[in-house]
Structure 1
Amino acid sequence: MESRLSRPLKIKCSYMRPLSLKISVPQPCAQSWDSMSPEGAGRFCGNCNKVVVDFTGLSDSQIVEILSDTSSRYCGRFNTTQLDRMLVAEKPAASLLPAVIITALLMTAGGVTTATPTNAIAIDTVQHVTGTVKDNSGNPLPGATVTLKGTAFKALTDSVGNYKLSVPPSLAGKDLILVFAFVGFDIQEMLVNAQYREGHMLKTELTSARTGLTEVVVCEPTRWQKLRHKSKKLWRWK
């Protein structure tokens, strides 16, 4: 059975008994499911910079229950049989708006076999750390590297020194260590509290590295050194 990952996705939900919704994929994304690296409840898409959840093995009720949460944005993988039709939940949701439209990012990969049906899965969303990097004079440092220590997640600062670094779901709610690096400056590490980073713009100031250069002084040889040098030359010619 063919499966599909979508983008951008529109989900129309109607408040009724039972609750139902319809998923459509007007603009598929090019990245394939197989090329993504495993992450949390699904796989991480570098194109969308999000975790893509596999919905292909879920029932209509499970999909409706997950996507009816309008406070979150999701990336997901769907079968073509799950698209462009009404998905009906067996049990109505406890609280929903009369009508909602959820916009999510999804992607497409043709010819993928349907996964074996499983229980409902937990949804992970990628968080971000934002901030700015400057030198000790207050000037922005464009092109500085910001790395999440112990991982491959990194970001570069823009022309005004700002950055946006993705945090994988496995580290959500945990304290992080960020590593800042720029040519000609000392490498700096920063411990970022999990609660503080939400909604805060971090500010980092890098210090110029000491080069360790020493001044070279040319000294005039003494009279004795000159005579000694001449005598060595005479003995060499004999």
Structure 2
Amino acid sequence: MPTQALTVSIPTPCQEDWTAMTPHSQGRYCQSCQKTVVDFTTMTDAEVVHWLGKQKGETCGRFKNKQLERELMPTPISQNKWTWKAAALGVLVWISAKDTHAKEKPPTSTFQQTHLSSDIPSPNQPNEYFSSDSTLILKGQILDSLSKKPLSGVSIVLKGTTIGAPTDMEGNFTLEIPQHVSGENSVVVLSYLGYRALEKSTKAFTGQTKTIFLHEDPDAEISTGIVVTGVNYKWYSPRGLYYRIRNLFH
């Protein structure tokens, strides 16, 4: 059975300003080209293959350069890896079953049980760690430093935690931080693909909506344009299958 892989290339990159395009559910709409530019930069290889495989006709997309000119597999590599090993193991078990006189020593399995302590109080204990007396609320609007246009989808995260919020279509965000998490030196990290990450002290937010400018990263490798795809099929012969199984367990 063949394994299908997809190769994506953009022969003629588009020079239109991504931030000047109108935000769209699938990416942004380019007024110059009168087309929706799909943002593939946050997709996995499998998602790119699945999306392009359903399309009929021309597609305009935005990619990281590392997504281009290489084979994109239709399923995640980690899943293929373990599926392949499981199948290979099954074949080896079937082969070894022919030798009915072979004696095997049952493998011994040892494990150590570790008792972990937790600082999280139980419902019956005083909750000194999770005081909910007040919440720190940060509000702001994030704009491109050159075009002064709002940036949607910017990630704002309290450094060292998973507490975060994205900007909306107008570049606005509201981030609520519980008092027990917020410290005197707390910092939020603002990150957006193609832009330099920025750190801001929570003290910089004075209760009013703060305007923040992000600068494009000149080292960011992003390409936008008409997508050209190529499909590759890989066939595996029984002989090749045998050697791959053998080498897998050596």
Q: What TM-score range do you get, normalising by the shorter chain?
A: 0.3 to 0.5
TM-score scaled by length of structure 1: 0.36
Larger relative helix fraction? 2
TM-score scaled by length of structure 2: 0.34
Higher relative contact order, structure no. (Cα contacts within 8 Å, ≥ 6 residues apart):
2
